[in-house]
Amino acid sequence: MNNRERAKLDSYHRTQAFNSKHATELSTISEYADEQTAFNAAVGIIEASGLVQAAAAGNSNGTIEAAKSGMAKAVIKYAMRGEVKAKQLGNTALAEALDEPESFILFAPKTLAIDRAINLRNLLDENLATLANISAENLQEIDEKINAYNNIKDTPVIEIQTKKATGTDRLHEQFKKADNAADNMYSLVHSYFGETNPAMVEELKLAMQIIDTGIHHTSVDLLVEALDTNAPIAGATVVDNNNDKTYTTGEEGNVHIANHRSGHYTFTISASGKQTVVFAADIQRGSANAFVVKLGGVV
Stretch 79-101: mean pLDDT: 92
Do 12 and 131 belong to one domain?
yes
CA–CA gap between residue 160 and residue 163 (Å, rounded): 10
Do 226 and 243 belong to one domain?
yes
Stretch 244-266: mean pLDDT: 87
Q: Please identify, among 165, 196, 213, the residue that sits at the C-terminal boundary of a domain.
A: 213
Do 226 and 187 belong to one domain?
no
Q: Please identify, among 179, 213, 247, the residue that sits at the C-terminal boundary of a domain.
A: 213
Do 154 and 276 belong to one domain?
no
Stretch 154-176: mean pLDDT: 54
Q: How many domains does the chain have?
A: 2
pLDDT digits (tens, 9 = 90+) for 11-40: 888 899 999 999 999 999 999 999 999 999
pTM of the model: 0.42
CATH number, domain containing residue 274 = 2.60.40.1120
User: Whole domain around residue 188: which residue ranges?
Assistant: 3-213
Contact 25, 36 (CB under 8 A): no
Lay out the sheet containing 219-226: strands in order across.
254-257, 219-226, 288-295
Give the CA count within 13 Å in the CB-facing half-sphere of 186. 17
Stretch 106-113: mean pLDDT: 85
Do 113 and 145 belong to one domain?
yes
Do 153 and 105 belong to one domain?
yes
pLDDT at 151 > cutoff 90: no
Stretch 141-156: mean pLDDT: 85
Do 161 and 113 belong to one domain?
yes
> Would you state the pLDDT for residue 164?
39
pLDDT at 170 > cutoff 70: no
| Amino acid making up residue 213 | T
pLDDT tier for residue 217 given thresholds of 50, 70 and 90: low
pLDDT at 102 > cutoff 60: yes
Do 250 and 186 belong to one domain?
no
Do 202 and 230 belong to one domain?
no
pLDDT digits (tens, 9 = 90+) for 273-293: 999 999 999 888 767 788 889
CA 214 to mean position of chain CA atoms:
11
* φ, ψ dihedrals at 273, nearest 5°: 80, 5
Do 131 and 244 belong to one domain?
no
Residue percentage of the chain with pLDDT more than 70: 84
> Would you state the pLDDT for residue 186?
92
Contact 238, 247 (CB under 8 A): yes
Burial of 2 (0-12, 13-18, 19+ CB in 10 A): exposed
Do 106 and 15 belong to one domain?
yes
Q: Who's near 203: CB < 8 A, 6+ residues apart? A: 18, 84
